[in-house]
A and B are shown apart, each in its own frame.
Chain A
Amino acid sequence: MLNCRVQTPTYARTELATELRLPTNGLDYTILAIYFVVVLGIGFAARRSVRTSLDFFLSGRSLPAWITGLAFVSANLAATEILGMAANSAQYGAYTVHWYWIGAIPAMVFLGLVMMPFYYGSKVRSVPEMLLLRFDRAAHLLSSILFALAAILIAGVNLYALAIVVEALLGWPQWVAIVVAGFFVLAYITLGGLSSAIYNEVLQFFVILAALIPLSVLGLRKAGGWGGLTDRLTARHGDDFVTAWGGTGIGSANPLGANWLTIVLGLGFVLSFGYWTTNFAEVQRALSAKNLSAARRTPLIAAYPKIFIVFLVMIPGLVAAALVPGIGTAGSDLQYNDAIPYLMQELLPNGVLGIAVTGLLAAFMAGMAANVSSFNTVFTTDIWAKYVVRGREDAYYVRFGRLITAVGVLASIGTAFLASSFSNIMSYLQTLFSFFNVPMFVVFIVGMFWRRASARSGFWGLLAGTVTAMVNYFVLYKRDIVAVPTDQGANFVSAIAGFVAGAVVMVIVSLFTAPKPERDLQGLVHGTTSPGMSEPPAAGDDAWYRSPALLGWGAVILAAACYLPFSI
């Protein structure tokens, strides 16, 4: 899930069973064709709003909060996430809710309430640029290059996953799907920049809801309602399968291979905060908001749909687990990843089926586009304009941004083809990059709350955290030096190790190097302010329902309340 953050079975096992071919007809293809036309139309229409590089990379910092908020949730709701979380539910049961209620909501609220004033108020255009201001060029360059590589890799993985699903469901050859989807993403981002990526993400959000809601309703009906579903699952998998915390006591065994402590610290704190607060593909959506209030509300508005989307991916997974007894085992034709396609085939008549296919394809393309549109921004403003060709006129960087978008898409297409022949290597690389968000978060949090953290400490903290998480995962866990039952559990533990190592190294390096002068820290460290933070609220933004504190704490309380029926 969450693209590079946590390993789900998504990538390694994307092969769908061949008998999942959907009975699509002309009606379904009409619905799909209309969507593609609208996607291109948005690209052409957004083109005339691009005048400066800020328009192209950050929508001119001018979008309203409801649009950036829905794009924020949608950029994460890629098809790999949808299929992967349904697979997770079919395999592990109701533990899936942790990825949403503890693994997303607190971090999203923290981003909106605590971090956004620093991000938006300092007027940085990217997450690495924030590191440049707070630390130094070494930290900046390291994070920019790693982010750019990871973004291309994930975009390619998304494209490859799309090709496999489209081949199984619609019977298109893989290369056709890769080239067609790559072309559409290339066209609409090159034309309209971030604005057309964001507009398409909002559109995709509604289409995917129109696909998943009917599927979940019919799935529940087929399984005999929620009561019938839980009875069947309890009879087959035991009581813990439909609870959130059952069997997570330290020392007791459960299918997830994690206990409550690693879930809360590893998933809920380190991995989730790392992903949601420092992954530029997400933060970029908030930075394109029209003012500080809208930027702070972006992740908070996103939190509410996020709380409930878990039901739309978990229910199909649980239904598939109930209806297909041996799903995911050697005796069955169906893999865990087949949960949603299987129910689409079983339950949806033509018409809604077309909506579902469109939603799935749209989600794949949005997942790729979110990575491409953050890649071109980091590559142009952080790498090219700062270290390679500096000081040119703004129009040059817009042209370069368009060019590098094309290069990025072509590189992802190449990555997708590579993935189809070397799938193990790619899965390995994906895990490798997944450990990069963790040290990013340490460096951010220490740098933001401890003004003594020196300029040099950022780079060494990043490096130490990344290396520790990787050593822990690839050496200690993979070679069985420490015993963790599953990949998921090992992920959580590695994240905690990376976090601690990064923090310790930052403290040590800071004690031996000179602190950053106080005047260079204004607006970057907690307790300081910058002019951007104190902008007066726009008309209407002082309404009570737009209060960030109320929205944020409301989301936390709602998520906690959602745990109740799954805990008692």
Chain B
Amino acid sequence: MSDYSEESVRREVTELEGRSATAARIFDLRRIIGGLFVLYGVIVTIAGITASDAEIDKAQGVNINLWTGIGMLLLGLFFLSWLKLRPTPPPLPEDGSPGEREHAEPGDG
């Protein structure tokens, strides 16, 4: 098993980590979740505001569209404000900025 030791896997993966582009180029998911849930929230809240009596009766007397819509809107706004308050740290792949990549391995390679 000389060709597959822990060391060889470590070396290969460490080398790939050095060239990896995900940390630097991937978009921030909070923007997508925030955007989608604000959009869904608005659509469902409007459906709740314009709800007919028959729809409210079906949902056990609860205007469920209104409540769900507001809930989704709040979740979307939560993600957007989190993004605003703590934006994605600018990628510094060369020196491995804190919070970005911690793979600088002192005793390796």
Q: Which residues of A approach B to under 8 Å, CB–CB?
A: 27, 30-31, 34-35, 38, 41-42, 45-46, 48-55, 59-63, 67, 122-125, 129, 132-133, 136-137, 195, 199, 202-203, 206, 210, 213-214, 217-218, 221-222, 290-291, 346-352, 355, 386, 394, 455, 520, 522-524, 530-532, 535-536, 538-540
Contact = CB atoms under 8 A, between A and B. Distances in A.
**Candidate in A42, A54, A122 with the most chain B CB atoms within 10 angstroms:** A54
Closest 5 CB pairs of A and B: A60-B22, A60-B20, A351-B47, A51-B21, A349-B55
B29 A59 contact: no
A41 B10 CA distance: 34
Contacts of A50: 21-22
B4 A61 contact: no
Contacts of B5: 133, 520
Contacts of B40: 31, 34, 210, 355
Contacts of B24: 49
**Candidate in B13, B29, B44, B108 with the most chain A CB atoms within 10 angstroms:** B29
A530 B6 contact: yes
A35 B17 CA distance: 32
Given A133-B6, A530-B10, A535-B102, A352 B68 contact: yes
Contact of A349 (B19, B37, B65, B101): B65
Tell me what chain B mostly uses at the interface: helix, strand, loop, or mixed.
Answer: helix
A136 B6 CA distance: 12
A195 B22 contact: yes
B17 A54 contact: yes
20 contacts: A52-B16, A52-B21, A59-B22, A60-B17, A63-B22, A123-B13, A123-B14, A195-B26, A203-B33, A203-B36, A210-B40, A221-B62, A290-B100, A347-B64, A348-B59, A349-B47, A350-B47, A394-B19, A535-B102, A535-B105
Interface in B85-108: 98-103, 105, 107-108
A125 B13 contact: yes
B85 to A, nearest CB: 15
Contacts of B36: 34-35, 38, 203
A42 B32 contact: yes
A352 B21 contact: no
